[in-house]
Structure 1
Amino acid sequence: MAEFSKVKYTPNQAKSKIAKYCAYQERCHQEVRDKLYSYGLVPDDVELLIYELIQNNFLNEERFAIAYVRGKFIYKKWGRNKIRMELKRRKISDY
C-alpha cells in the first residue's frame, strides 16, 4: 500500500492559506497553531505567523470567545458549565 506524504508549505504559502482559513470564521489560537503544524512548519515560523495574524486582526481570542459562546448558547442550547469547559479545552484564557 502506498503511503501518502503530506504537502509541506513554505511560510509564505502557509500565510496566505491560513489567512483565508481565519477569514472564513473566527478561530482560536490553538486551532490555528494546529493547522500550521499540519502544514509542516517549524515552531519558529508558526509563532511568527500567529503574531502576524494577531497584528493584522485575523486572530482575536476575545472575538472568537464571544462568537463561540453566542453560537453554542443560542443554537446548541449549551449551559454555562459546558461552554466554560469547552473554552478551557480550546485553551482560551480566562481574562
Structure 2
Amino acid sequence: MEVVGSSVGGGNILITEIDGLAVELTGEYPTLLIRHHDIPGVITEVTRILAGNSINVAFMQVFRHSRGEDAYMVIETDQKVPPEVQEDIIRLCPDIRQVRVV
C-alpha cells in the first residue's frame, strides 16, 4: 500500500493519496487503512471486530479502482486500535490483504 501525504506544519499531516486514489485525511483521529478484496461482507466483518472491542467508528470511507479489484477502507476511530485488534482483523477476515495504522 503506497500512502502519499505531507506535513502541513504544527505537527499536523495531510494524507492525499492511497495507491493512486485521492483521499483527504488529517490524522486527527487514529486511522486504519485496510486493503481488501472487493466482495460483499468485508466491511461488516471489520466493523463487527471493532465494535466487539469497544472501538467506535468516527468516520469511514470505502473506495476502489474498479469492481472486483482491491478496495480500500479508511476508518477513523475515537479510540486507538491496539495491535491485537489489527491482528484479529487480518486473522478473522481472509479477504483482508493489508492493515496499516496512521
- TM-score computed with the length of structure 2 as normaliser: 0.26
- TM-score computed with the length of structure 1 as normaliser: 0.27
Between structures 1 and 2, the one with greater strand share: 2
Between structures 1 and 2, the one with greater helix share: 1
